[in-house]
Amino acid sequence: MEKTIPESMIRLINEVKDRFANDEKLGEMFEKGFMNTLKTTVERKDDGTTFVITGDIPAMWLRDSAAQVRPYLILAVHDKEVADIVEGVVKRQFQYIVHDPYANAFNKEENGNGHHADNTEMTPLIWERKYEVDSLCYPIQLAYLFWKATGRVSHFNQTFINAAKKIIQTWKIEQEHEKRSSYRFHRENAPNASDTLTRNGKGSLTAKTGMTWSGFRPSDDACKYGYLIPSNMFAVVVLRYLSEIAESVLDDREMKDKSDLLATEINAGIEAHGKVEHPEFGTIYAYETDGFGNHNLIDDANVPSLLSVPYLGYCKTDDLVYQNTRRFILSRENPYYYEGKVARGIGSPHTPERFIWHIALAIQGLTTNDQVESKEILELLKSTDANTYLMHEGFDVDDPSNFTRPWFSWANSMFSEFLLSTCGYYVPGSPGFAESGK
């Protein structure tokens, strides 16, 4: 059955199309991309929650679902129907976290679908149990931004409180992964080494740094080193959000103090272990480290990434270390930065070599203060859709018609958010909204 499109969405689409009256394709791409999540991936449930699939995979990722509906917060400010949909996403996310804070993707009900041959503590509700720090960051971010956009606090219920406590507890345990964590993940006969963890599912050896350990990246690929810097940066940001929620809404001094302390500890770990001196670019952030002095100097297309740090709210776009890092990751010194006949940008070991991601291009546009660069990114997004009027996962820098995942809602939402930002529309409560002076 065809979903009814809210009037607020139709109005915003028409406003954006009017802004791009001289560029019919870009307007049509926005219309198709902005509606994609609502029309093809969202399902309201009788319990008031909202189930959101990623697109071509029939499971709900905590990360993806938050990013998929994030641009709709612009509408939720004045549209109760849209606000109800987003609140339903938040409520379902925190139900899932209470069920298992180590899982990254879940089923609609306890049907046992997904990766149940994996050697880890699966349940019928879990689709996949790859532990990723960002999977716990995104729901807190969405809950916070939803509050800022709508003023609603009904989602800060007992389930939210229970989940928030589990998140803090999990991140504290994973500060000492070697000694305290019981989490293990091993995929038998994994087609790629990145689909499983070494050392019988424990991952590569780490030393205590103050940061919190992550088994996998937001690409769902295994971390080379257990401290994933951009995810730890994201954790610092959302712990500060949680502190504000605890103080202003929940009146929970204990949660506020625990959030503040953990944010301070993780941030100190980033400062002490997450930076390196590069001979060409100066002080830059590493992508991963292990606490023993080893660093992985790359960036990945998936968010959180080093490129996305200002978008996440960890620092300003003009921060010197960020700017140094940005120059590094947008150069050939980054093994996953590709230049081709048609495009250039950041890819991922998750997709073939010389494939770059629309998500990374959108983030590049959202984190630049250079209007020329912003326009170039917009043109690049428009010219690499393979005439589908939608975004994809990765595409060949020499031939955009060669791409992965034709139905990937997260990429469409990122494109939509970037295009909206060029028109002066920002998610309330986000760094972009604050910097725009709205």
Concatenated DSSP letters of 211-258: S---SB-TTSPBPSSSEEHHHHHHHHHHHHHHHHHIIIII--HHHHHH
In this structure, which long-range contacts are made by residues 264-268, counting pairs with CB atoms below 8 Å and at least 24 apart in sequence? 265/175, 265/210, 266/171, 266/175, 266/210, 266/211, 266/212, 266/232, 266/235, 266/236, 266/239, 267/236, 268/210
Which residues pair with residue 238 across a beta bridge?
none
Residue 167 · residue 101 · CB < 8 Å: yes
Distance CA 56, CA 65 (A): 13
Distance CA 277, CA 275 (A): 7
Cα within 13 Å of Cα(196), Cβ side: 17
The dihedral sign for the CA sequence 119, 122, 124, 128: negative
What are the residues whose beta carbons fall under 8 Å from the beta carbon of 377, sequence distance 6 or more?
A: 361, 362, 364, 365, 368, 418
pTM over 0.95? The answer is yes
The pLDDT value recorded for residue 438 is 64
For the sheet with 399-403, list strands across it.
355-357, 394-396, 399-403
Locate 214 and state its tokens: 């992550």
Nearest partner of 186 among 173, 199, 171, 196, judged by Cα? 196
The pLDDT value recorded for residue 2 is 67
The pLDDT value recorded for residue 435 is 84
Instruction: Sort residue 426 into left (φ over 0), alpha (ψ -120 to 50) or beta.
Output: beta
User: Mean pLDDT in each 10-residue stretch from start to end of the chain (438 residues)?
Assistant: 87 97 97 98 97 97 98 98 98 98 98 98 98 98 98 98 98 98 96 95 98 98 98 99 98 98 98 98 98 98 98 98 98 98 98 98 97 97 98 98 97 98 97 82
Residue 102 · residue 170 · CB < 8 Å: yes
The continuous run of DSSP H or E covering 33 comes out as helix 24-40
The pLDDT value recorded for residue 434 is 86
What are the residues whose beta carbons fall under 8 Å from the beta carbon of 379, sequence distance 6 or more?
A: none
The pLDDT value recorded for residue 3 is 82
